[in-house]
Amino acid sequence: DQQVKQNSPSLSVQEGRISILNCDYTNSMFDYFLWYKKYPAEGPTFLISISSIKDKNEDGRFTVFLNKSAKHLSLHIVPSQPGDSAVYFCAASALGFQKLVFGTGTRLLVSP
């Protein structure tokens, strides 16, 4: 039973455009959501997070949006750069539980 889902395995975007990566979750106990970026042969790198008390969090070119009623979050990257090409994982955790539950990732390719 996959509680965090990333239904798009891949996404291709041109440099300078917006990249939108989506994530859906089923567990209403989740209250903290994170995005990680992963390059080949490296570990996931923390990118940005959002608490369930907010609906938006912004950090430079990266913005995460949370829609609790739809159990949906998205990561916007504007403008996209070739160096953003990587696999992006959505993850979630519930209050009182230490573990992160990950989605299966979306491979983003930003072409020049």
Partner 1 sequence: DTAVSQTPKYLVTQMGNDKSIKCEQNLGHDTMYWYKQDSKKFLKIMFSYNNKELIINETVPNRFSPKSPDKAHLNLHINSLELGDSAVYFCASSQDGSSNQPQHFGDGTRLSIL
Count of positions on this chain that bind partner 1 (CB under 8 A): 26
Q: Which of 10, 12, 26, 51 binds partner 1 (CB under 8 A)?
A: 51
The smaller minimum CB distance to partner 1, of residues 18 and 59, is found at 59
Q: From residue 25 to residue 44, what is the string marking binding to partner 1 with x (rule CB under 8 A)?
A: ------xx-x-x----xxxx
Alpha-carbon torsion (90, 94, 96, 102), positive or negative? negative
31 φ, ψ to 5°?
-135, 5
The least distance separating partner 1 from the CB of residue 66, rounded to whole angstroms, comes to 14
**Residues 103, 5 contacting (CB under 8 angstroms):** yes
Contact flag: residue 11 with partner 1 (CB under 8 A): no
DSSP state of 9: S
Contact flag: residue 105 with partner 1 (CB under 8 A): yes
The smaller minimum CB distance to partner 1, of residues 14 and 102, is found at 102
Q: Using alpha carbons only, what angle is made at residue 63 by residues 61 and 68, rounded to the nearest 5 degrees?
A: 175
Alpha helix positions (H), the chain: none
